[in-house]
Amino acid sequence: MIAIIDYNAGNLRSIVKAVELYSKDVVVTDNPETILSADKIILPGVGNFESAMANLSKEVNESSLKEAICRTVKEIPFLGICLGMQLLMEKSEEGDGAKGLGVIKGDVIKFKDTVEKIPHMGWNNVEQVMDIPLFDGIKNNEYFYFVHSYHVNPSNKDVIAGVCEYGYKFPCVLNKKNIYATQFHPEKSGKAGLKMIENFIELI
C-alpha cells in the first residue's frame, strides 16, 4: 500500500493520478495509523515550511503525522516532493528558522540575491551526480518542472544525487538509503517524471 500524506499543503490530485498509473493500491491519508501500516510513503506539498510543520505536528488520537513519518521513514521507501523534500531537513530560513523533521541533517535556505528571479519556476535540467534507482531509464540532464523559492542545503554532501543550476548549482535530488527526495515535481514533469514515479513504486 502506497500512502500519500495529506497535511493540507497543496492539491494532491496530480500526484495521485500519476501514482495510480502504476499502482491501484494507493491511499491519500491524514491518519498516522494508516501511515504506520504503509509499504511506501510519499510526502508531497507546496507552500510555507512553518505552516506545513504545524499541520504535521497536530495530534490525532494521541499521535501525529510527524511521529508516524519519523517512525517509518528509515524503514520503508520514502519519497519527499518539493516542500516534502525540504521538510526532511532540520530547519528552514522560511518561517524564521522553523524546525523540520530532521531526517536529513542540514537546512533549507532562500535563493541568493544574485539569482535573477525568485521563485525558480519552470523547466530546468537535472544533472545526475549519483547513480540511484530513481534515475533508472532517465537520461542525464533531463528536464523537470520546478516551482520554489528555497532549496535544501544538506550538511553531508554524500546524500546529493542530483543538482540543478539556477544562478548557481543547488541540490535538487537527495538519497539517503531508502529515503528519496526531489525539489521538482515529477508528477508534472512529463514522461521523465512519470518514469521516476514508476521507479519509486518498483522499489523493494
**Which one from 33, 187, 198, 202 is the annotated catalytic residue?**
187
What is the C-alpha to C-alpha distance for residues 57 and 64, in angstroms, rounded to an integer?
A: 6
Assess whether 187 carries a catalytic annotation: yes
Report which DSSP code applies to 22: T
Can you tell me whether residue 16 is helix, strand or coil? helix
What is the C-alpha to C-alpha distance for residues 165 and 124, in angstroms, rounded to an integer?
A: 8
Of 126, 152, 124, the closest CA to residue 138 belongs to 126
Cell of 21: 498509473
Assess whether 185 carries a catalytic annotation: yes
Assess whether 82 carries a catalytic annotation: yes
**Which one from 82, 94, 142, 164 is the annotated catalytic residue?**
82
**Which one from 94, 120, 185, 198 is the annotated catalytic residue?**
185
Query: Which residues carry out catalysis?
Result: 82, 185, 187
